[in-house]
A and B are shown apart, each in its own frame.
Chain A
Amino acid sequence: MTSRYAVGDRVRICARYAPGHVRTPFYVRGATGHIERVLDKFLDPEREAFGINAGTETQLYRVRLNQSALWPGYTGEPIDTLELEIFEHWLEPA
Chain B
Amino acid sequence: MTHDHDHTEPHAPIEVDVSDGPDYFEVMVHALQELLVDKGLIDADEVRARLELIDSVEPSRGAALIARAWTDPAFKQRLLADGSAAIDEFGIDNYDGTHLIVIEQTPEVHNLVVCTLCSCYPRPVLGLPPDWYKSRAYRARAVRDPRGLLREFGTDIPPEVSIRVHDSNANMRYLIMPMRPAGSESMTEAELANLITRDSMIGVTVARLPR
Which residue of A39, A60, A79, A82 is within 8 Å of B165 (Cβ)?
Answer: A82
Report A-chain residues with C-beta under 8 Å of the C-beta of B117: 23, 25
B167 located at the interface, meaning its Cβ lies under 8 Å from any Cβ of chain A in the complex? yes
Bitwise, B165-208 to A at CB < 8 A (1) or not (0) is 11101111000000000000000000000000000000000000
Give Cα A81–Cα B48 distance, bound, in whole angstroms. Answer: 41
- On whether the beta carbons of B170 and A85 are closer than 8 Å, the reply is yes
Bitwise, B123-167 to A at CB < 8 A (1) or not (0) is 000000000000000000001111110000000000110111111
- On whether the beta carbons of A75 and B99 are closer than 8 Å, the reply is no
Given contacts A25-B116, A76-B163, A81-B164, 18 further A-B pairs with CB under 8 A are A39-B171, A39-B172, A40-B171, A62-B172, A76-B146, A76-B147, A77-B163, A79-B160, A80-B162, A80-B163, A81-B163, A82-B165, A82-B166, A83-B165, A84-B167, A84-B169, A85-B167, A85-B171
In the complex, how many residues of chain A place their beta carbon closer than 8 angstroms to a beta carbon of chain B?
Answer: 24
A45 located at the interface, meaning its Cβ lies under 8 Å from any Cβ of chain B in the complex? yes
Q: Which residue of B lies closest to A40 (CB)?
A: B99
- On whether the beta carbons of B144 and A71 are closer than 8 Å, the reply is yes
Bitwise, A58-94 to B at CB < 8 A (1) or not (0) is 0010100001000100011101111111110000000
